[in-house]
Amino acid sequence: MRTARTIRVRNVAAAVLALGALTGLTACVGGDDEVSTKPKAHASADEKKTDEQPATDADAQEADAKDAKKDEVAKVGDTIELTGMDKGSKLDVTAVKVVDNAKSSDEFTAPESGKRWLAVQFQLVNTGTKAYADSPQNGAQLADSQGQQFQTTFADITAGPSMSSDVKLRPGAKALGWITFELPKASKADVVQFAMDSGFSDKTGEWRLK
């Protein structure tokens, strides 16, 4: 025979289990996704040598403020520090060059009718403490000025070798290669994004193409 005390204990236990399930669901849905447009810091104004007359403290502060504002958004040539899902997984990623209307290096492949290829050369440097292994193309995407997003396409172009689809880097090693996207001829490419772990990492780097 169940007593009132037994019923109350079971009700409390059920409530605790329900709360735990809800908390777990919230944790899965929430996440700490971040899109970083901040380039890796360059040399400070004090470290730059110049033949010009030394600036005053006020001038130096104004110059530093202008440089900081200019460097808020990464552009082609800049490096962004990215982290992966595993502890010790870290990359310095640089969008090195961009080629719009990229040309196929063979006679068998070409963009679909009404579309074009845009390729971005990426450099990946393993700055972490563990090996990096991934297919970088899976973590890259392009967006145009209207917000339309485009995935990568497998294409070899005349600009140079494509990024390997099976990159493995020990700490300190680097990889360089082109990642190609297919988009409508009329689209104005705006930004390119890259994330580790085939795009599943919480931190995504973003570079402005203009």
pLDDT tens profile 175-196: 999 999 999 999 999 999 999 9
The tokens for 100 are: 């719009």
Dihedral (CA of 149, 150, 152, 157) sign: negative
Alpha helices in 46-97 (DSSP H): 57-70
The DSSP 8-state label assigned to residue 106 in this structure reads S
Task: Scan for tokens 């605790």, then name that residue.
Answer: 16
User: For residue range 18-33, what is the model confidence (pLDDT) as tens digits?
Assistant: 434 333 333 333 457 8
Average pLDDT over residues 82-96: 97
- CATH 3.40.50.970 for the 74-106+113-208 domain, yes or no: no
Lowest-pLDDT choice from 64-78, 88-102, 195-209: 64-78
Q: Per the structure block, which two tokens stand in for 164?
A: 């390997």
Domain range summary for the chain, segments of one domain joined by +? 74-106+113-208
Residues 6+ apart with CB under 8 A from 7: none
> Residue 25: helix, strand or coil by DSSP?
helix
